[in-house]
């Protein structure tokens, strides 16, 4: 019998890509999203790619009563939680917005899974932000977590801890936290991708908007970092590869193949790229120029962080496969789709 996966935030950037890959892998998917940071069009994209329109509930996961109704309608074999705010700077300015939303929504989901009865499988979308400025790269799952430098980062750490404690305490309760590095790109069909709201904070949407002429010039934050070219090093992971890691994690949970009740996996490529290398990769993959200049360092940026993905490679049987050229082409195709080209 087909298993059912609930995806909160399933209309969003990563959620929509995960929904596609789960459907492609034969899962039934139920999408919950309050559409505050996305629009329903991503579900049109999901349908166009897969031929399946997953059941959708416009529900805020912070609303426990509304969430309970979703559980009355469906038996959920595994829940994946993406429904959270993600702007680092905004979280510093409005911490309670982040603590209330990101924590309450996750705890409501855990409670709903517990109340359902039977085995509960919960997958949490965590972040490499938990490693802060690492002592050494690449980071493994055993690398120490550093004190969070933003409320956003703090919600990732706290949610990991909530999941760990529930797995330790409750029979039949299992959890996986996937720590994403820098998710970028879009589906190769250009039918789903990241919806930029306002001025992008993240590098790749800023690159694509500059190439498209929406922004005049990209500022590269800092050229005096102790790295080969003076700019920061990151592990840019293609969003489709990232989505496939979720399918492997869901297979592992629902197939009851976990080694321990709570597991953590780094989801990255293991390949560091500097900000300048990424800009060059975008330019050469797409044959376009990006207008950029150096500016001062951005507060809170870490010099370098990239993954040792060995654990995910071994236990999940998953590996990042798409080349940076593929990823940069998909990012540009999505930008052109947004611009109606
Ligand atoms: C941030 C978040 C991370 C989140 C990720 C993806 C932190 C500290 N960072 O990572 O949790 O998972 O976004 O949403 O929590 N850059 C420029 N110019 C720009 C924009 C960025 O030079 O206009 C540089 C930055 O200085 C950085 C690199 O590009 O060196 C990547 O930045 P960004 O895409 O914002 O991601 P992170 O800050 O690494």
Evaluate whether 306 touches 235 at the Cβ level (below 8 Å).
Answer: yes
Q: How confident is the model at residue 37 (pLDDT cuts 50, 70, 90)?
A: confident
Q: How confident is the model at residue 125 (pLDDT cuts 50, 70, 90)?
A: very high
What lies within 8 Å, CB to CB, of 17 at 6+ separation is: 187, 192, 239, 240, 242, 243
The proportion of the chain whose per-residue pLDDT surpasses 70, expressed as a percent, equals: 100
Which residue lies with its CA nearest to atom 29 of ligand 1? Answer: 203
pLDDT at 46 over 90: yes
| Mean pLDDT, residues 180-186 | 98
Mutation probe of ligand 1 site: the residue of 12, 298, 328 with most atoms within 8 A of C-beta: 298
Q: How far is the CA of 214 from the centre of ligand 1 (A)?
A: 20
How far is 7 from 114, CA to CA, in rounded Å?
16
Evaluate whether 54 touches 43 at the Cβ level (below 8 Å).
Answer: yes
How far is 321 from 323, CA to CA, in rounded Å?
6
Query: Tens of pLDDT along 48-66?
Result: 999 999 999 999 999 999 9
Q: How far is the CA of 203 from the centre of ligand 1 (A)?
A: 6
pLDDT at 341 over 80: no
| Mean pLDDT, residues 233-260 | 98
| Mean pLDDT, residues 193-211 | 93
Lowest mean pLDDT among 38-47, 234-243, 273-282: 38-47
Q: Give the model's pLDDT for residue 40.
A: 86
| Mean pLDDT, residues 264-279 | 98
Q: Give the model's pLDDT for residue 39.
A: 85
| Mean pLDDT, residues 232-247 | 98
Mutation probe of ligand 1 site: the residue of 86, 150, 154, 182 with most atoms within 8 A of C-beta: 182
pLDDT at 69 over 90: yes
How far is 250 from 253, CA to CA, in rounded Å?
5
Which residue blocks in the chain are alpha helix, DSSP H?
Answer: 13-24, 41-50, 64-73, 88-93, 95-98, 104-116, 151-169, 203-211, 239-254, 275-286, 310-311, 324-338
How far is 157 from 160, CA to CA, in rounded Å?
5
151-169 and 104-116 helices cross at what angle (nearest 10)? Answer: 20
Q: How far is the CA of 250 from the centre of ligand 1 (A)?
A: 28
Q: Give the model's pLDDT for residue 1.
A: 86
How far is 231 from 252, CA to CA, in rounded Å?
38
Residues annotated as part of the active site: 152
pLDDT at 155 over 90: yes
Q: How many CB atoms lie within 10 A of CB 26?
A: 9
| Mean pLDDT, residues 175-189 | 98
Q: Give the model's pLDDT for residue 198.
A: 87
| Mean pLDDT, residues 88-103 | 96
Evaluate whether 191 touches 269 at the Cβ level (below 8 Å).
Answer: no
| Mean pLDDT, residues 294-312 | 96
pLDDT at 76 over 90: yes
Q: Give the model's pLDDT for residue 85.
A: 95
The proportion of the chain whose per-residue pLDDT surpasses 90, expressed as a percent, equals: 95
| Mean pLDDT, residues 15-37 | 97
pLDDT at 311 over 90: yes
| Mean pLDDT, residues 134-163 | 97
Mean predicted lDDT score pLDDT of the chain: 97
Q: Which ligand 1 atom is the nearest neighbour of the CA of 275?
A: 29
Which residue lies with its CA nearest to atom 18 of ligand 1? Answer: 220
pLDDT at 196 over 90: no
How far is 106 from 250, CA to CA, in rounded Å?
18
Contacts 24+ apart (CB under 8 A), 201-209: 201/87, 201/88, 201/89, 203/234, 203/275, 203/278, 204/236, 204/278, 204/282, 204/331, 207/278, 207/279, 207/282, 207/290, 207/331, 208/282, 208/331, 208/332, 208/334, 208/335, 209/335
Q: Which helix (H) or strand (E) holds 237?
A: strand 236-238
How far is 200 from 203, CA to CA, in rounded Å?
8
How far is 243 from 114, CA to CA, in rounded Å?
25
């Amino acid at each position: 019998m087909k298993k059912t996966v609930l995806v909160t935030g399933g209309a969003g950037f990563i959620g929509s890509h995960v929904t596609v890959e789960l459907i492609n892998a034969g899962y039934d998917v139920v999408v919950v999203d309050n559409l505050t940071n996305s629009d329903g069009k991503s579900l049109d994209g999901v349908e166009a790619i897969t031929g399946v329109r997953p059941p959708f509930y416009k529900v805020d996961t912070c609303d426990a009563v509304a969430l309970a109704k979703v559980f009355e309608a469906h038996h959920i074999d595994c829940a994946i939680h993406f429904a959270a705010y993600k702007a680092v700077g905004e979280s510093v300015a409005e911490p309670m917005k982040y603590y209330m939303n990101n924590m309450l929504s996750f705890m409501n989901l855990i409670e709903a899974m517990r109340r359902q009865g039977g085995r509960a499988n919960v997958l949490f979308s965590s972040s490499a932000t938990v490693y802060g400025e690492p002592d050494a790269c690449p980071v493994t799952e055993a690398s120490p977590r550093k004190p969070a430098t933003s409320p956003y980062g703090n919600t990732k750490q706290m949610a990991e801890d909530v999941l760990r404690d529930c797995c330790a305490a409750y029979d039949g309760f299992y959890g996986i936290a996937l720590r994403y590095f820098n998710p970028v790109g879009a589906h190769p069909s250009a039918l789903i991708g990241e919806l930029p709201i306002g001025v992008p904070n993240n590098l790749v949407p800023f690159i694509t908007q500059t190439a498209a002429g929406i922004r005049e010039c990209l500022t590269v934050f800092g050229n005096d970092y102790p790295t080969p070219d003076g700019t920061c090093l990151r592990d840019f992971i293609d969003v489709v590869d990232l989505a496939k890691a979720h399918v492997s994690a869901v297979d592992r949970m629902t197939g009851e193949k976990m080694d321990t009740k709570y597991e953590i996996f780094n989801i990255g490529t293991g390949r560091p790229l500097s900000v300048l290398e990424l800009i060059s990769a975008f330019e050469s993959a797409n044959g376009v120029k990006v207008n950029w200049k150096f500016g001062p360092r951005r507060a809170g940026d870490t010099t370098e962080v990239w993954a040792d993905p060995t654990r995910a490679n071994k236990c999940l049987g998953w590996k990042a496969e798409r080349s940076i050229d593929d990823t940069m082409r998909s990012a540009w195709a999505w930008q052109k789709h947004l611009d109606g080209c």
